[in-house]
Structure formats: structure tokens, C-alpha cells
Amino acid sequence: MQTTQVYAVNRQQTDCLEVRTTDLEAPPAGHARVRVEAAGVSYGDVLFQRGVVPGGPKPPFVPGCDLVGVVESVGAGVTGLEVGQRVAALVVSGGYTTGINLPAERLVPVPDGVDPVRAAAVSLNYFIAHQMLHRVARISSGQSILVHGASGGVGLAFLQLAEHIGGVTVFGTASAANLDLVRRHGAVAVDYRNEDFAVAIRDSVGGVHAAFDPIGGPHFFRSYSVLRRGGRLVAYGQNDALRDGKPNMFIGAVGFLGGIILPNLRPDGKKTGFYNAWSLEKSQPQAYREDLAQVLDLLSADKIAPREIHTLPLREAGEALARAERGVTGKLVLNCT
Ligand SMILES: NC(=O)c1ccc[n+]([C@@H]2O[C@H](COP(=O)([O-])OP(=O)(O)OC[C@H]3O[C@@H](n4cnc5c(N)ncnc54)[C@H](OP(=O)(O)O)[C@@H]3O)[C@@H](O)[C@H]2O)c1
């Protein structure tokens, strides 16, 4: 079978992607071949392509951390997967493609009737928000949390999933135009350009049980400073390590050292750590399938809904990546059919 893939071929801001067509072999034992229908595009793809994430893939590589498609064939020893079945998967890279072989255990069934583009729009964002809320910070009713970038894809996922827990006080930072959206999801909206979130939190609840921060750099320390005793900073992004198109590894290092490593040494009862979508794979191997299935079930039951979805054809992945870097309202999804 021939497959079309979009490769990141360098670390530049433009002309960094190249469309290539190659043969995809039959799936090896324990694997299935998926005809990809939709692949999510996220700001994290930009950070990987620009080389800002330590340990990220090196060019040439195929970006894309989430995909949805249909099982086309299965290798020897695969059970529990039917040809023709729709599945979703999270991958470290490889999503921008029309076809891929993946280990069968990575493929999670998509409930009947769920649109593949909508499934791709929620898979990564809601999966990571779910894991950070439930498995890392273990948030429960009566607690309070701080969500940065609350109007963004992951931010909105936090707000919607916290609404399901119920009784959680949520502070959500966003820019002025997005404050109403944040409020509509039951959060206390803080305009991060004109207000100090630390003051807003101290004045109302004193401190939060958890802060979820994708901004990075010195921002991690500011989020840590609003934790109450026993609270946890969950850092999960490094937006500030790429500003105005320029990677700034110094800012990234400052965030890790000053916001995560050093605060953890203080005997103040607070904890800090960096989370990514693969953080729990060793300690909780069942969590991947359970949590992705749960997110897809919530979507199927209309209990979560991504903000606007913008679709582009796979061949326009370069435009999608550029839009993700400029900042987009809603979720970008590549149509791979
Ligand atoms: N660790 C992982 O495995 C993983 C996986 C996926 C994504 N991520 C990370 O998650 C982050 C969010 O991704 P996304 O797809 O949700 O991005 P997104 O949809 O572009 O949303 C980002 C939001 O951040 C807000 N923002 C920017 N600067 C801010 C600041 N200083 N304070 C508060 N908010 C600020 C913007 O809000 P306004 O428009 O209102 O200004 C924007 O809506 C990225 O850093 C990405 O790398 C991590």
C-alpha cells in the first residue's frame, strides 16, 4: 500500500515540511495497519519541529501526536481488532500521514457514530487534561485549581472535565476577548495581560490545590507561588521557549531549574513536576487505553465538545503548522483521506 506522509525536514519556520509518498509494508506481528482519516495539529507539533522540546524527534520526522482512522489489516497474533473498525491513537510522532502501522495495543476503538475529525480534535487535548486532573493532581470536589491558557484547546478541556468533577473552583487565565468563554464554563476568568493571577487567587481562596501551566520559563515559578500547602504544580508545556518565531533554550532551562527542580527541594509541602502524554506509560501502563477510551466515550455522549474545529487537507500541513504557531482559536485537524 502506498502512503503519503508529511515530513518535517528542518528546524526553520518556513519550508520546513515536505510531502513524500512511500510504500507501507504489511503490518508486522502484533501490529495493525490504519488508514488515517484525521490527524490533530497542536502547538506542541510546532515546538517539536522547531527543536524546542528536549529529547523530541529530529528531522526528518513525521509530526503529529494524535490520529483517527480505520483498521485496514492486522498482523499475526492480533486479537480484539476488526478490519474496518474505527480507532484512535496517540503517538510521539507520525500522525501527518494517510497510513501507518501501529502496535495493536495503541489502538483504542472509537465509539460508533463519532465523527473522525471530532475524535481527532479531542484525543490528545482531553486525554492529557484528563490525566493531569485525575491521575497526577487527583483533583476532587471542594478543591481549587489554576488553568493557564484556559480558552485554548487543552485549557478548555480542563474546564469541561473539571465541570464533570463538580464543585471544583477553577481560575482560568485568558486574554480579554476570551474571558466570557472561560466564564461560560464556570471558571473565574483572569485577564493575564492586565491582571495578576496570583493576586486574584490570594484575594479569593488564598491558594490553589493545583496549577496547570504550559507557559514555561519564570511563569512556572509564579504558578508554584500560588499553591497552598500540599498543592502541586503540573507543568506541561514550554510556550515561552519559542517567542516571535525564535527558540529560546535559556528560558526553557530557567523554567525547569527555577520552577520545577529547585522548588521541589523546598520543605514547604508543595510538589512540582513536568507532565507529558507519555509520563504515565511505565508507572500506570493501563492508563493510556482507559483514559483515551473515557475521553472518546465522553465525546460520544456529548459531555465534552471541542471549540471550533478547522480542517485542512493533509497536503496543507505547512499552512496548519504556521497557523498553530501564529495562534489559532479552536482546534486544527488535518483531513488525511
Ligand atoms: N505535554 C504534552 O504532552 C502536551 C501535549 C499537547 C499540548 N501540550 C502543550 O499544551 C499547550 C497548549 O496547547 P493548545 O493546543 O491548547 O494551544 P492553544 O489552543 O494555542 O492555546 C494556547 C492558549 O494559551 C493562551 N496563552 C498564551 N500565553 C499565555 C499566558 N502568558 N498566560 C495565559 N495564557 C496564555 C492563549 O490564550 P488567549 O488566546 O486567550 O490569549 C491560547 O489560547 C502548549 O504549550 C502545548 O505544547 C503539551
> What pLDDT, on a 0 to 100 scale, did the predictor assign at position 192?
97
Q: Which atom of ligand 1 is nearest to the CA of 173?
A: 33
- The answer to whether the peptide bond before residue 60 is cis (omega within 30 degrees of 0) is yes
Euclidean distance between CA atoms 240 and 229, whole angstroms: 27
Helices assigned H by DSSP within 172-261? 179-184, 197-204, 219-225, 249-254
pLDDT at residue 246 greater than cutoff 90: no
- Provide the 3-class DSSP secondary structure of residue 268: coil
> What pLDDT, on a 0 to 100 scale, did the predictor assign at position 103?
98
Residue whose Cα lies nearest atom 21 of ligand 1: it is: 152
Q: Does the beta carbon of 144 sit less than 6 angstroms from any atom of ligand 1?
A: no
Distances (CA, A) of 96 to 2, 18, 68, 90, 274: 14, 11, 11, 12, 26
Residue 226 CA, chain-centre distance (Å), reads 24
pLDDT at residue 249 greater than cutoff 90: no
Q: What is the mean pLDDT of residues 74-83?
A: 96
Would you place residue 290 in the very low, low, confident or very high pLDDT band (cuts 50, 70, 90)?
Answer: very high
Q: Report the candidate in 86, 88, 115 with the shortest Cα–Cα distance to residue 302.
A: 115
140-274 domain in CATH 3.10.105.10? no
Q: Does the beta carbon of 124 sit less than 6 angstroms from any atom of ligand 1?
A: yes
Residue whose Cα lies nearest atom 41 of ligand 1: it is: 175
Would you place residue 74 in the very low, low, confident or very high pLDDT band (cuts 50, 70, 90)?
Answer: very high
Q: What is the DSSP string of 117-131?
A: HHHHHHHHHHHHHHI
Q: Does the beta carbon of 218 sit less than 6 angstroms from any atom of ligand 1?
A: no
Whole-number Å distance, alpha carbon 152 to ligand 1 midpoint, is: 6
- In the chain, domain spans: 2-123+281-335, 140-274
Helices assigned H by DSSP within 185-316? 197-204, 219-225, 249-254, 262-265, 287-300
Q: What is the mean pLDDT of residues 208-214?
A: 98
CATH class for the region spanning 2-123+281-335: alpha beta
Widest distance between CA atoms in the chain: 61
> What pLDDT, on a 0 to 100 scale, did the predictor assign at position 296?
98
